[in-house]
Each structure stands twice: as structure tokens, then as C-alpha cells.
Amino acid sequence: MPRFDALLDDFFYRPDEDVSGLVDFAAGSHGVTPQAVEEVPEEYLSFLLEDECYAVPLLAVREICKVPPLTEIPRAEPWLLGVMNLRGELLPVYDVKLRLRLAEVPARVAGPEALPAPRAARILVLKTEEGPAGVWVDSVQGVVRLKPSMLEAAPPGLRGERDCVVGLGRRGAQLYILLDPELALAS
């Protein structure tokens, strides 16, 4: 019976062996089709505004918090609901429903006539070039992963006030309207 190390010689590379066929095979020259590049999904945070599902890139979200008492800013733009104190940091809170034409008038959520916030309402604290800012949403759905093949460009009719819609994402029967946080909060 041959020795064990003699049996292993057949399995290991020897410097005197011709390996040119292996190099060609590894390069794909033997008719082996290369595997398709796997799509890397992006993560989005989905939320509801007036029963429509929207989403922003997860990397743009700093945190999600319950709606705190908001302080009204006199003579502010209508989409600025007020400011909130988040652990000593004053942040503006915006209503993007006006920009998206989902509402005609802003909700009365700040000041002495403020209505209590619905139980499911949340403030998304988004990272922007001008610093963090809050966005009032009706409810947070969760994180959704969308591959590039699931994304579509924004319809051409969305110009002007609704230019913050940058695309659509489809996952099964669910449609996500993708927003650019910078454009949604731009004045």
C-alpha cells in the first residue's frame, strides 16, 4: 500500500505541473458563463401620509420619535409646523403634506389651539445639509429593502411643488413613493 504522503501528491500543486488550462478556466474562456452581478438592495424607511405610502433613504434618517409638544413660530411659512426640543436641541418640524398637495392647510399641532397628536403619528428626524429637521408623518411602516430593478423614475408630471418625489419603488403589490429629504424640506 502506498504511503499517505504519496497519495496526497496527486492533489497538491507541484512547480513542474502545467496549469495553463486552469488559468484559462478561471478566466472564463471555457464557455462558462459568468454569474450575473447580484443587485445590492438599498434600505428605505417607509411611512404613511394621508394613507399613501412614502419612503426616504434610511441613511437620511437620524431617528424616529413620538410627537412632543411643538412651539408655534409666528409668521412662519405654512409648512413649518413649529419647533421641538429634542434633548436640548431645537429642531424645526415640517409638514410635507402641503408640498405634496395632500392637504390644503397645515394641521394645527402647535400653539394654544393645538389638537392632540394621533397615537400613531411620529416625527422623523432627517439629516440635511442645514442640520437635522423633523418631518411629521401619520405613522411609520418600517424598513423596506428595494433592489435597483424595483425602482422607477418619477413620472414626468411631478414638477414644481412636488419635485421632491424622485422615484417609485415596487415590492409585490406595494408601491412606495420615494422622496428626496433635501428637496422635501427646501423652501
CA distance 163 to 105: 19
User: Which residues of the chain fall below pLDDT 70?
Assistant: 1-36, 157-162, 187
Domain definitions of the chain by residue range? 42-185
Q: Return the closest-CA partner of residue 134 out of 56, 74, 75.
A: 56
Q: Check residue 159 and give its pLDDT.
A: 53
Output the pLDDT for position 15.
Answer: 64
Task: Report the predicted TM-score, pTM, of the whole model to 2 decimal places.
Answer: 0.74
Provide the pLDDT for residue 3. Answer: 67
Domain 42-185 maps to which CATH number in 1.20.1250.20, 2.40.50.140, 2.40.50.180, 3.40.50.620? 2.40.50.180
Residue 97: closest CA among 1, 22, 177: 177
Place of cell 402641503: 98
- For position 98, what pLDDT does the model report? 85
